[in-house]
Amino acid sequence: MFANFMIGLREGLEASLIIGILIAYLKKTDRLKQIPKIVYGVIAALATAVLAGLGLSAIDASVSTNVEITITGITSLLAVIFVTWMVFWMAKTARHLSKELESKVDTALENSGTALFVIAYLTVVREGVETSIFLWTAAKTTGEGQYAWLGALLGLVSSALLGYWIYKGMLKINLGRFFKYTGNYLLVLTAGILEYAIGEFTELHWLPETGTAFNLGFLTPAGSPVETFLAATIAYNPAPTLIQAIAWFGFLAISVPLYLRQYRLPWAAKKP
């Protein structure tokens, strides 16, 4: 539940900030009549994301065990790719996102009002579909079922409230630090999902059996509060195979230093 809450909170806040930037710029440039087009675009994007999640659940419930494992493994791998890209993209473009979106709005209004709907839709649907796939995968990985979706809903509602308060000037938070720390957390969770995907592919015999690398069951007995908490927050596996352990450590050893480096680059230190 916690993992999906954090996913919903971070991704929802990203989408809320994007919507806020678009609406604030229209107000600033006295184009209030164009706001409904953004709202319709956002609604269409959210509907697409929900349908993507429902579609995955419907397919998962109606196929054989082997096909289910295949879908889960491939979807988990896609979630790893999407979220890793999203985390790095946000770290690199966050400081320039406002100017980029404002430029797109100006170009859209010069061409046609419909283009503004498309901008809102495409900007939010990318976040929405990525989030939907990641939430579905995280729910499967942590084994929480409906509680995972409850966590996601609470995260999305919280992000909507935070986004509204920030937009109204009622709340000020250091968004750079928020995205930096939650990005690190998502990379750790993503490593667990990658490990899970490898387990699915091994079960399908797409990858070789390598035996257990180590077993931490004596520290975190199955069903214990610690094991339950770690499984729900970082997709913890106390007894990974050798190939799973290599993938987990390798992913974090490469991704985390590269991610933190984004905040040490010259452009990151400059004031927007």
pLDDT in tens, 142-187: 766 666 677 778 888 888 888 888 777 777 777 778 888 888 999 9
Task: Give tens-digit pLDDT for 42-84.
Answer: 899 889 988 888 888 888 778 888 888 998 899 999 989 988 9
Q: Is the pTM above the cut of 0.85?
A: no
Q: Is the pLDDT at 20 greater than 90, yes or no?
A: no
User: Which amino acid makes up residue 111?
Assistant: N
Q: Which domain holds residue 64?
A: 2-269
pLDDT for the residue numbered 206 = 94
**Quick one: average pLDDT of 17-44?**
85
What is the secondary structure of 4-61 as a DSSP string?
HHHHHHHHHHHHHHHHHHHHHHHHHTT-GGGHHHHHHHHHHHHHHHHHHHHHHHHHHH
Query: Where does the pLDDT of residue 271 fall: very low under 50, low under 70, confident under 90, or very high at 90 and above?
Result: very low
Residue with tokens 């010259």: 266
**Which residues share a beta bridge with 241?**
212
Number of structural domains (the chain) is 1
Q: Place 269 in a pLDDT band, splitting at 50, 70 and 90.
A: very low
Cα–Cα distance, 101 to 32 (Å, whole number): 16
Burial class (CB in 10 A: 0-12, 13-18, 19+), 85: exposed
Which residues does 162 contact at the CB level (< 8 Å), separation at least 6? 9, 13, 16, 171, 173
What does the CA dihedral 190, 191, 194, 195 come to, rounded to 10 degrees?
A: -140
Q: Which pLDDT does position 174 carry in this prediction?
A: 79
Q: Confirm if 183 and 90 have CB atoms less than 8 A apart.
A: yes
- Distance of CA 162 to CAs 23, 29, 170, 188, Å? 16, 24, 9, 24
